[in-house]
């Protein structure tokens, strides 16, 4: 233990605590992404094409439902960070307890609604699995509460604990789900049962790490009162509006097509498209982390024009390289990718992979630039981006004769969105240079 502590201190001395924490969190996010996609690949092989489509259709739905929770989570990171920095531990503990209780209540309520709406949901998505809605709702009932433990650890700067929480959650989800599907029943209902059990385990780990964080009130510490927190929450809500809009639009762009395809096409075609989407989003594996790392770095140096411009150029170059390299591979070797990851039964995805990979590449660049705008407090752009989500929905709803048409709509929207953000990006860079 002493040797580990000495090594830890040596690393901090050499690279700096901020750099080290960034590397640790980035590594954790990489492992989370790896296990998530590995699970998709395993399920793609274990489940039938139709069952895989059932699973991914509902997964996209829960992603959209969870959008509000993710926005609240971003606001709470700031709340927890400010309270922890001010050593208002009593207020922090009480706010967190209220968040846990509220999230648990909301999760259970939404879970009950999902169960009661089970017949409608199954009809809407052409789902044949018997028990999937029940386990889907069960998973949702606890997932919100589990998520907020991770948000707390992030907010109080316990980045090692935060990374442990993330990696444990993704690893347990992969192992438990794979074992259930392989040994119990090859049905998507077992997938969501696995998700629920892994969330229970993560909740236990989160409680343990929360206790290790040792957030204790002291004499003279601020206590939580309604009056002391109301103004703070109002400000955070206002500040979160642009973030909520941007996050919502990007979430919709990444999931609307899959949901519409699930409802408008046959179960087999929906399964093929789900496989295409899963394979295409592998591009996010490395390239998607650039914005995550860039965001806090830009905030930290944005008062220095020279440092800011240098940092933006560096991250822009990294983003271009990490997008173009996998895109070239997808264009040249789609059959190799499909066969290697999902097997021969997903060879029908080959004609669609280059097109979807191009759309994902546009999405990554757009997300990169929008994240930069948020870091620079450029908020006006946020109020224009919903136009593209609306156009995508309308385009797919009108033009869905074939899967190719769906992808063509995605590409047109992706290019238009990219040109819009590039224009705003160039204008902003000129303003910074002239400042």
Check residue 342 and give its pLDDT: 72
CB 245 within 8 A of CB 261: no
What average pLDDT does range 107-116 have in this prediction? 91
Q: Which residue has the higher pLDDT, 268 or 78?
A: 268
- pLDDT per position as a tens digit, 19-40: 566 567 767 877 887 898 789 8
- Percent of the chain beyond pLDDT 70? 82
- So what's the pLDDT on residue 428? 82
User: What rounded mean pLDDT belongs to the chain?
Assistant: 81
Q: Among residues of the chain, what percentage have pLDDT more than 90?
A: 25
182-229 pLDDT, tens digit each: 999 988 889 999 999 999 999 999 999 999 988 776 555 655 555 555
Query: Quick check: 103 pLDDT over 70?
Result: yes
pLDDT of residue 14: 47
> Would you state the structure tokens that stand for residue 109, as one six-digit string?
């309520």
**pLDDT tens profile 321-370:** 888 988 999 999 989 888 887 777 778 888 999 999 999 999 999 989 98
Pick the range with the lowest mean pLDDT from 48-62, 235-249, 260-274, 306-320: 235-249
Whether the model pTM is above 0.75: no
Report the range out of 175-184, 271-280, 336-345 with the highest average pLDDT: 175-184
**394 pLDDT band (50/70/90 cuts)?**
very high
């Amino acid at each position: 233990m002493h040797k580990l502590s000495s090594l830890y201190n040596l690393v901090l001395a050499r690279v700096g605590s901020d750099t080290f924490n960034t590397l640790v969190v980035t590594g954790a996010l990489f492992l989370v992404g790896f296990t998530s996609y590995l699970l998709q690949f395993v399920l793609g092989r274990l489940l039938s094409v139709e069952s895989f489509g059932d699973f991914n259709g509902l997964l996209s739905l829960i992603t959209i439902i969870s959008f509000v929770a993710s926005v609240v989570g971003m606001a709470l990171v700031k709340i927890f960070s400010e309270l922890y920095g001010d050593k208002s531990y009593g207020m922090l503990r009480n706010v967190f307890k209220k968040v846990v209780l509220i999230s648990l209540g909301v999760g259970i309520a939404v879970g009950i609604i999902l169960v009661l709406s089970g017949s409608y949901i199954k009809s809407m998505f052409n789902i044949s699995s018997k028990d999937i809605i029940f386990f889907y709702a069960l998973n949702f009932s606890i997932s919100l509460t589990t998520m907020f433990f991770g948000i707390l650890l992030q907010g109080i700067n316990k980045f090692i604990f935060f990374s442990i929480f993330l990696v444990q959650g993704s690893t347990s989800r992969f192992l438990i789900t794979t074992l259930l599907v392989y040994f119990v029943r090859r049905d998507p209902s077992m997938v969501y049962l696995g998700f629920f059990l892994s969330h229970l385990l993560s909740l236990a780990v989160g409680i343990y790490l929360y206790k290790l964080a040792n957030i204790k009130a002291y004499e003279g510490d601020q206590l939580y009162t309604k009056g002391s927190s109301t103004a703070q929450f109002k400000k955070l809500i206002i500040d979160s509006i642009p973030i909520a809009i941007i996050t919502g639009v990007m979430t919709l762009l990444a999931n609307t097509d899959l949901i519409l395809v699930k409802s408008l096409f046959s179960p087999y075609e929906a399964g093929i498209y789900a496989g295409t989407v899963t394979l295409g989003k592998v591009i996010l594996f490395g390239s998607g982390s650039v914005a995550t790392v860039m965001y806090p770095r830009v905030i930290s140096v944005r008062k220095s024009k020279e440092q800011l411009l240098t940092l933006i150029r560096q991250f822009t170059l990294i983003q271009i390289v990490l997008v173009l390299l996998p895109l070239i591979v997808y264009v040249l070797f789609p059959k190799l990718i499909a066969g290697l990851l999902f097997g021969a039964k997903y060879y029908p995805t080959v004609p669609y992979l280059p097109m979807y990979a191009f759309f994902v590449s546009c999405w990554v660049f757009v997300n990169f630039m929008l994240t930069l705008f948020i870091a620079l407090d450029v908020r006006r752009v946020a109020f224009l981006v919903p136009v593209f989500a609306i156009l995508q929905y309308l385009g797919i709803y009108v033009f869905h004769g074939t899967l190719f048409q769906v992808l063509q709509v995605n590409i047109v929207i992706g290019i238009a969105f990219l040109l819009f953000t590039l224009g705003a990006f160039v204008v902003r860079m000129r303003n910074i240079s002239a400042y």
